């Protein structure tokens, strides 16, 4: 788990890791700590991964070993989604590779998404791995996609490459791998500097129903 945080002028770039970047409790703790620093120091946030994966989402191995803590774990994951959804800074997910399941949900919780054009899939595979969406997860995806895209993505497990994800509205733009973070920063630069409290309040109002669902246990 190699999570790192650096700054490009006033924009924070949070690297989620260099492997599958699954949501272990330790990973969640580390991400929460970095987000607290970003809130204090930065004017915008970009998240990305290194190599093949943006994030493969839930740590299924941890869940298999700690089945008695599933409710707690799902609550932690959904709290992260809620935090990103209402983050007091503009946010972009720079999707460098595969984003599956909860990894795609993390990306879609950002204000904007820029995806690598030539490699990687954006996918909600829950139908194929027989894990129904919680009400909060379903509400999040449906709030950030058109009804027909939500039907296709959620009920078929379709894997979207960069261009197709852009066409479906799951991401806002695509870029080459070596320019992905720069393209994400360029999207943020014109819109940084808004009042943090006002921005967070607006997002909280926009997504009030999603937040209620995320903060209610759906296991």
pLDDT at 218 over 70: no
Angle of CA points 86, 192, 39, to nearest 5°: 50
pLDDT tens across 104-137, in order?
999 999 999 999 999 999 999 999 999 999 999 9
Q: Does domain 4-217 have CATH number 3.90.226.10?
A: yes
Nearest one of 7, 2, 5 to 185, comparing CA atoms: 7
pTM for the model: 0.97
Instruction: Look over the chain and give the mean of its residue pLDDT values, rounded to a whole number.
Output: 96
Domain boundaries, given as residue ranges, for the chain = 4-217
pLDDT tens across 172-205, in order?
999 999 999 999 999 999 999 999 999 999 999 9
pLDDT tens across 31-43, in order?
999 999 999 999 9
User: Cβ contacts of residue 190 below 8 Å, gap of 6+?
Assistant: none
Q: How confident is the model at residue 50 (pLDDT cuts 50, 70, 90)?
A: very high
Nearest one of 117, 96, 68 to 107, comparing CA atoms: 96
């Amino acid at each position: 788990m190699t999570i790192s945080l650096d700054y490009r002028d006033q924009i924070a770039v949070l690297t989620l890791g260099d492997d599958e970047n699954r949501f272990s409790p330790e990973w969640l703790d580390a991400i929460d700590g970095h987000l607290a620093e970003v809130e204090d120091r930065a004017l915008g946030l970009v998240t990305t991964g290194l190599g093949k994966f943006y994030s493969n989402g839930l740590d299924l191995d941890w869940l298999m070993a700690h089945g008695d803590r599933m409710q707690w774990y799902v609550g932690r994951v959904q709290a992260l989604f809620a935090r990103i959804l209402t983050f007091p800074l503009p946010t972009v997910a720079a999707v460098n590779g595969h984003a599956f399941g909860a990894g795609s949900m993390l990306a879609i919780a950002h204000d904007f998404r820029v995806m690598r054009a030539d490699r990687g899939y954006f996918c909600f595979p829950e139908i194929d791995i027989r894990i129904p969406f919680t009400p909060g997860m379903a509400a999040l995806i449906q709030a950030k996609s058109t009804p027909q895209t939500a039907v296709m993505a959620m009920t078929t497990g379709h894997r979207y490459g960069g261009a197709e994800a852009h066409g479906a509205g799951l991401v806002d733009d695509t870029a080459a791998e070596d320019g992905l973070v720069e393209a994400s920063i360029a999207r943020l630069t014109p819109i940084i500097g808004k009042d943090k409290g006002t921005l967070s309040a607006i997002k909280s109002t926009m997504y009030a129903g999603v937040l209620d669902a995320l903060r209610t246990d759906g296991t």
